[in-house]
Chain A
């Protein structure tokens, strides 16, 4: 007997190896033929503090963390024993158990580490009564003791995985394979011993009366488990990006780290620099000299990048910036997701400035749109930004390996060779008319690179003449400004014609009720729409990924086709709904908002509930930490 889906939550203290253990377990589930989706919840601390990772696994596609969970492995917080920590945070040893009970589904399983979580503490939280009430199956195990006996205390994670496998009646093959890949020698041996003893103890000593078993499934093609940050980094590699500059900041650091680790073998250059102004300025400098360059940050660091961003636009130096959002304002919540920087990213920088902004909604889109971001940047000589968030950054999903089997596109777009430069327009002194407006196509005048014969010009952040000299001539100003702004119209056209798939639609095409979302909320919305349609409603969904230029036609068509729409996003001020109204100038009376900004991503059930409350016109807010913002009118 197998269950429809498993949502396994491993909880402990930061630094206890929760992340690596869950990565391996997720991979084991994927290798067993299941689709998986992981969700990380962690505090902004290095060691100790409540952290958990959820792995959702099913025999069908999983697009979000799901609702609640059904298996808790509570390891205890080993770092909470530090007396100094206790003075600050109180005794947190019990938290991996107590903090997680609210979301555990009826009939769920709890395994907790008796070695770390004391009997008295368990009595204090009334676990027995709650278990009875919710039909939970509780298995206290001395995981720490078992780990200590065969190796080291830190291996209690392995014991936990062994117990899990036994209770779910899983084979240990995949888990053993993954362990062999990750370690060797005595460490591997000890871990295998622990794994097997934990497994056997459960199998021999417990009678199972719970229904939950590991789902069974199979994949027709080979799968890879990776995060949004992986996908962005890999998209950049395949786009020919070989220069990255950055300053560490969560969650942007993921992309920065992945590329820094891969570039040495690929002839790329990675620079960790003094601040984010420098980071983006380095991207500009490297691009100016002929490299495909990127930089990025999270909100606070991106704030510093607005200067070089404007410089890139004015000098028409292509760059790609990544903005990985976390909750704000200011330093906000460093390890929690939010979609609150949309307006900031769209309008940062002075003047009538413009850039291209992509907001991928899942792993495949993150890869595709990163490639696209480089292509557009180098073809049109304009900064492009990929905006995503802590959620998409850290969650892992399985993707067809074949999806990534694509040729690199390292070409420098509108950059000329020396032969082409010979034919190009020059002024009387022999300077190349780099910023020519007479023969520009689609607003683009082809560029030269320093060191090329016959390409000499001046790039400047001031308004400039065709060869690049500072100019305040009114006619030139209007010509140059119009030429630069013209690019966006052509980019919109190109995106619409060739890349309409940037926008994703789902649900019942004929429905008169629509749910619109953007970025990483896509998965939860898609699932909610599916569930609503399964419940007899008629709903369709639109997930938008092009933020600037805005896909006017597609969003207009969608909104015209429905009577009512709910805009779902993770922020408090309905920024995306505001963008739709600004761009389209209407539909204000059709759109309500469902907003969440408590630091946790949407669960599909919250969207379903938001829909029902909204549709029924009930005068109440949904029960979750979610807010409905009524229609504003045009």
Chain B
């Protein structure tokens, strides 16, 4: 019998199961886009048949980092920028877990930028949601890596001299095999994209546009969005790397001018996940590593048997 019976449990799952029964109430500001991510996740998880106890949500620091305080799954609220290394190791240790990492644009693209690049490169089988509100919210409104050039804040009072980072293009170049952008103001699309990301075998990166009504009032995320899959103006093949790259450029060129394009930008279902690649070269156990500790019949190798080479 498995030591992890919550994993793969098949039953009707009510979305309310993902809401903590008692405290805490979200501390997000009224109108915060983070509510949109929470709602979309609560809808998506039961629809893909996941029980709260087989899901591990790993978050970083910032308003976004509190996601798993309000979403009742197994959770790990880590430290600034480090959600991804924690999340991907959890997946390696127990490949049966559904691992979802989340964080903000400062957390994920700034302090955690290096981890983002390498997690995408390795194509770990997990979902990564970046709450992108183009601002540091919890630390009270400093310029973030995605804030537009010229953005004024207490730490860049004359306006930022930096060109904003382009998360979609970065993600594609780094090697993510599923890349989408959605927005809190677009709940139906958000839910569908999260479902796809969870079901995707590989690193699924969602740049999730979330408005910050308190610190980023100028942000243009309230403007109507255009779903690139729904619009005839944007016909491209999401499985074609070059076409996807071109579309991402188009989007990222105009984002700060008030045009918001959302949808799937790149989907590569053929590329094996990191776990599969690692298994192919013989460096992943056949069964989830964590299971073995509960298996009374497991044979544990001894260092004594390695000593021959030292005698």
Contact = CB atoms under 8 A, between A and B. Distances in A.
Interface string B5-30: 11101000000000011111000000
Q: Is the interface of A mostly helix, strand, loop or mixed?
A: mixed
B89 interface: yes
Interface stretch (A209-217, A259-267, A483-491, A589-597): A259-267
Interface string A395-407: 0000001001111
Interface in A254-280: 262-271, 273-275, 277-279
Nearest to A411: B293
Given A291-B290, A449-B94, A470-B77, 7 more contacts: A243-B89, A282-B85, A285-B76, A408-B301, A411-B293, A451-B54, A451-B97
B51 to A, nearest CB: 9
B56 A450 contact: yes
A522 interface: no
B306 A234 contact: yes
Given A430-B21, A458-B68, A290 B293 contact: yes
Nearest to A260: B283
A311 B79 CA distance: 7
A274 B77 contact: no
Given A264-B283, A290-B93, A449 B4 contact: yes
A462 B117 CA distance: 26
B303 interface: yes
B293 A412 contact: yes
Interface of A: 222-226, 230, 233-235, 237-238, 240, 242-243, 245, 262-271, 273-275, 277-279, 281-293, 307-308, 310-311, 315, 401, 404-408, 410-412, 415, 417-418, 427-431, 449-462, 468-470
Give chain B's interface residue range (CB within 8 Å of chain A). Answer: 35 or more
B170 interface: no
A589 B247 CA distance: 74
A452 B306 contact: no
B234 interface: no
Given A267-B292, A271-B92, A451-B97, A223 B311 contact: yes
Contact of B310 (A224, A450, A451, A461): A224
Given A265-B301, A292-B293, A285 B53 contact: no
Nearest to B8: A451
Contacts of A315: 76
B115 interface: yes
B119 to A, nearest CB: 9
6 cross-chain pairs, A with B, having the tightest CB-CB distances, nearest first: A429-B21, A290-B290, A285-B89, A234-B303, A451-B4, A285-B86
A286 B306 contact: no
Contacts of A277: 82, 85
B52 to A, nearest CB: 6
B165 interface: no
B69 A469 contact: yes
Contacts of B294: 417
Contacts of A408: 300-302
Contacts of B311: 222-225, 401
Contacts of A311: 78-79, 82
A284 B304 contact: no
A397 to B, nearest CB: 11
A271 B89 CA distance: 9
A452 B6 contact: yes
